[in-house]
Amino acid sequence: MSEIGFKITEEKEKLPVSTSKLFGNPHVWDEFEWPHYTENGEDYDLTFMCQINCTDATSFDTKGLLPNTGMLYFFYDMDEMPSESIKTNASRVLYHDGDPASLHEMLRTDQDGNDMSFREMKITFNEKSEQPHALLNAPPMEGWQPLLQIHSFETDKIMIHFSGKNALCFYVKESNIGNMDFSEIFVRLV
């Protein structure tokens, strides 16, 4: 099995660029454009959920489903929290395989310049076992490969509950994953 568990920890120091992490601000390339959706002529930014440094996870990916290098970025509409979405503006997964040294933090700020992100938490990968958060593991769906599962959780500083559900799951079209094509994504709250 290629299920990859991960745990999240709050670190005292700012995480280095290209670290696998939940929330915070993404470490991106120069031409990066923040994913958004348009409704009634207005643009709304999606929430940055996490970034995965594929090199960190590759030793646990026994089926070779993920890229060996590069970064995966996950975005979701945390304001509306749709329970299911396919090929809509509610979610995005981006893949970038450029030089990690060229990445930089991109801040998402409000009108007064205040950082709008949730506190960043480091992701550490391990075998699936009993970890609630996981790569390549989620309730199955025909024709779709589970990509990421983030369970509702609570720390001293943050409480994330996915609209009364237990977990947010990202899926990629099975026929696309071998080509590293993440343009067709299905998101589901389970």
Whether residue 87 has pLDDT greater than 80:
no
Whether residue 159 has pLDDT greater than 90:
no
For residue 46, count CB atoms less than 10 angstroms from its CB and return exposed for 0-12, middle for 13-18, buried for 19 or more: buried
Predicted pLDDT at 108:
84
Whether residue 142 has pLDDT greater than 80:
yes
More confident: 93 or 81: 93
> Which positions ≥6 away from 52 have C-beta within 8 Å?
20, 66, 71, 72, 73, 74, 123, 135, 148
CA distance 184 to 147: 12
Tell me the domains of the chain and their CATH numbers: 4-189 (2.30.320.10)
Predicted pLDDT at 162:
87
Whether residue 146 has pLDDT greater than 70:
yes
CA distance 173 to 143: 6
Residues 107-131: tens digit of each pLDDT: 988 888 888 888 999 999 998 767 7
* Highest mean pLDDT pick, 3-12, 15-24, 34-43, 106-115: 15-24
Predicted pLDDT at 113:
85
H-run or E-run covering 94:
strand 91-96
pTM exceeds 0.85, yes or no: yes
CA distance 170 to 66: 14
Predicted pLDDT at 15:
96
Whether residue 89 has pLDDT greater than 80:
no
* Highest mean pLDDT pick, 31-45, 79-93, 152-166: 31-45
Q: How confident is the model at residue 88 (pLDDT cuts 50, 70, 90)?
A: low
Nearest-5° angle of CA 7, CA 69, CA 56? 25
CA distance 71 to 74: 10
Whether residue 165 has pLDDT greater than 80:
no
